[in-house]
Chains A and B, each alone.
Chain A
Amino acid sequence: MGSDLSIELDEERRRSFRRFLVVSALLHAGLIAAFAFSPSFGKLEAPAGVISVDLVALPGQPAPRPKARPAPAPAPAAQPKPVAPPPEPVAKPIPKPPIPEKRVLPQEAPTPKPRPKQKEIPPEAVPKREQPEKEYGDVLDQLRTEAGEEAPAPEAAPEPAPAAASAPAGGGGSGKPVSPEVADWMRRVRIHVRQSWVVPPGFRQQSLATEVDIELDEGGNVVGEPEVVRRSGNPWYDDGVARSIRRASPLPAPPESGVWRFVFVSDESS
């Protein structure tokens, strides 16, 4: 009787397990379908990078990269998880010379510990480490140029707004491809200005961006004083930008004379 009951129970368990499997499979299929057809799916999960970075993400957009990263502590995350060192002979707790304080603490295997809460890092707060993407910056530039693409401004990049295509700051990019002539000039002018722009290490560890309107004549000479339309918040960084523009004049002759907007970003990794 007892064994019959257990067989019956087993049978019942098998049945309910089968039901569970079917339901689960259906639910999963539903979820996958929902995600796959949801308009935001690709944007959110596809690492912002793969396609959009290669073709439209601009060099040096400070904001989106750190924000898109789910967890802070980039370097620690890459660390192999610290393994507890083999227990050492426990030092005496009473500090003794010649090293009175240091290493007097008993070294034991760490107790299970709560993981630190991982929060979003305000990008400007973090001294940046070298990013692997850095090496590809020039290659990306080249690819973009070859593709006749130019990068949108930082603000437009994370979520290209409809207005972006027609706004000067967000021009080019995904909304409005620029002509090969303009793209080629932009590539050359970027390299030219970069050569006269000094960015000391202290600035490279912050996320700073200065936007400047520069009037250029047909020969590429800077006409009048460049107008800073958006300050970075660090006057010395802004001064450095202005200095570099003065030093860079004349720029490569533009496709059209007139006012061009330049965005100087301190992020060297893109």
Chain B
Amino acid sequence: MALRLRLRRELLRRTVLRRIAPFWLLLCAGAAAAQERPAVVVNPGGKQTYRAALQRFADHSPRPAGAEEFRDALGRALEFSQVFELVNPRAFLGPETTESLDKPIVCPDWSQIGADALVQGQLSRDPSLLTANFRVWDPSRCATLVQKSYRQPATADPNALAKRIADDVVEAFVGVRGVSATEIAFVSNRKGNGEIFVMAADGSGQRAATANRSINNFPSWSPDGDAIVYTSYRQANRPLLFISSRGRGRPGRLLPRLPAERAEYRGVFSPKGDRVALVLSDEGAAEIYSARPDGSDLQRLTRHRSIDVSPTWSPDGSRIAFVSDRTGAPQVYVMDSGGGEPRRLTFQGSYNTNPTWSPDGKWIAYESRIGGQFDLWLIDPEGQVNQPIVQHPRNDEGPSWAPNSRMLAFSSRRFGRAEICVVDLSGEKVLRLTQNAGDNTAPAWGPFPR
């Protein structure tokens, strides 16, 4: 039957091709007005990274300092994107320090040294603010791709500014914003018990976000990036959802209006932040619910005697994927965010869990156990395409999407203890972010900074 359908489709395709191709080709013939020449078909070679020349930013402040460090930070962030490599400044034919952002550059100076991008800029400081103006050139076209300015409190880390600029440079060249300025929350037991930690997306600046000496797990960000929701046993020896905030809002229980009677797990904000999906469990049954962040308007979304866990929102907030063992083994299901009959999504593998919907909506990443090892897989929300992204004899678990949907963070035991790693969608380059400091698990990649 399937074969017949396939044949029919094939026939249809051929018919369409046969009828349309001649017209199309005629059009091409007219447009090209070239003689009967064959087309030269070029497919990619080994070059995957653009070359960026970074000028040292001019620093007009009374006490200039740190322009070299700023350039280093910008360079590291560009390399982290895996879209750029750097041109050694010693090879520059043009000035190594930006002279002016208003003057045109001598483009051949930069294209001759193989620079696909030239980044120039200037830093200015006053007592309260650090401002970076920058301009990105495409020397081959001698055109400006981006010109922008960022400012931040003078006391803040200048590296953050450098990363914002790097992410813009990435966007100018591939159309997708870089993620070096984002952060990843995760769980680490490096100090004995599982606490929530936060680090930059490149693994730098690891710091604890909780220190309650209890058990804490399943961090998840608020959509504005100002808060992290997590599950903790810090109160009443029962798992409840807590929120840790960056200054705005009070830390404490996430759903204060919900009586602390049932176990709460794995709260995740809806993309708009107006609701929280979570797992509530009593007497063994675990079901998916959603509520307002204050705990009001609690709605039960699943109704089955099985265990339903691990909710994740579609980026438009209309659907929720989750895990259920209703057919005997854990599999991923999708339902409307208001509840309703779930549709089973995964059929391969005997143990599929931890689904997470990509911010662009195209994929659901999950972990699947096949042959005794957990690997990361991608499936599209309609279940038509299902394929592994990372495979390794040691377990890879807990995928979390970068906000640009181009990379995944996950926890891997390939180095012995569980470590947080990131990988791009080709699955080829696995970058390790944590280094043998206890077990590091449950990464949650935060949103773009505002």
Contact = CB atoms under 8 A, between A and B. Distances in A.
A92 B283 CA distance: 11
B18 A159 contact: yes
Contacts of B13: 67, 158
Interface residues of A, number: 117
B105 to A, nearest CB: 16
Contact of A59 (B21, B43, B231): B43
A114 to B, nearest CB: 7
B2 interface: yes
B329 interface: yes
A247 interface: yes
Contact of B42 (A95, A100, A197, A235): A197
B286 A170 contact: no
A109 B48 contact: no
A153 B39 contact: yes
Contacts of A119: 384
B348 to A, nearest CB: 6
A110 interface: yes
A155 to B, nearest CB: 6
A108 B29 contact: no
A95 B10 contact: no
A169 B44 contact: no
Contact of A200 (B26, B28, B50, B385): B50
Contacts of A60: 41-44
B48 A201 contact: yes
A213 B34 contact: yes
A243 to B, nearest CB: 5
Which applies to chain A's interface (DSSP): helix, strand, loop or mixed? loop
Interface in B21-48: 21-22, 24-26, 28-29, 31-45, 47-48
Nearest to A187: B40
Given A98-B194, A100-B239, A268-B44, A76 B386 contact: yes
Interface stretch (A1-9, A12-20, A23-31, A202-210): A202-210
Interface in A211-261: 211, 213, 229, 234-236, 239-240, 242-243, 246-247, 256, 258-261
A136 to B, nearest CB: 13
Interface string A114-138: 1111111100011111000000010
Given A72-B385, A129-B387, A161-B18, A153 B29 contact: no
Interface in B273-288: 279, 281, 283-286
A90 to B, nearest CB: 11
B14 A82 contact: no
Contacts of B380: 125
A164 to B, nearest CB: 6
Contact of B44 (A167, A261, A266): A266
A47 interface: no
Contacts of A85: 350-351, 369, 372
Contacts of B35: 168, 256, 258
Nearest to B171: A236
Contact of A235 (B175, B281, B283, B429): B175
Interface in B349-392: 349-351, 353-354, 362, 369-372, 378, 380, 383-389
Interface string A73-112: 1111001101111000000111101111110111111110
Contacts of A158: 13-14, 17
Contact of A95 (B14, B24, B138, B286): B286
Nearest to A242: B141
A145 interface: no
Nearest to A80: B371
A83 B40 contact: no
B248 interface: no
Given A117-B383, A169-B32, A258-B37, 15 more contacts: A101-B310, A106-B325, A110-B350, A116-B383, A117-B384, A151-B41, A164-B21, A168-B35, A169-B39, A171-B38, A186-B38, A189-B40, A194-B42, A211-B39, A265-B42
Interface of B: 2-3, 6-7, 9-10, 13-14, 17-18, 21-22, 24-26, 28-29, 31-45, 47-50, 82-83, 111, 116, 138, 140-141, 173-176, 194, 215, 217-218, 231, 233, 239, 263, 265-266, 279, 281, 283-286, 307, 309-310, 323, 325, 327-330, 347-351, 353-354, 362, 369-372, 378, 380, 383-389, 406, 424-429
6 contacts: A59-B41, A61-B41, A127-B387, A155-B25, A235-B175, A247-B111
Interface of A: 40, 44, 58-61, 67, 70, 72-76, 79-80, 82-85, 92-95, 97-102, 104-111, 113-121, 125-129, 137, 150-156, 158-159, 161-164, 166-173, 176, 178, 182, 186, 189-190, 193-205, 211, 213, 229, 234-236, 239-240, 242-243, 246-247, 256, 258-268, 270
The 5 closest A-B pairs by CB, nearest first: A60-B43, A171-B38, A172-B38, A194-B45, A236-B175
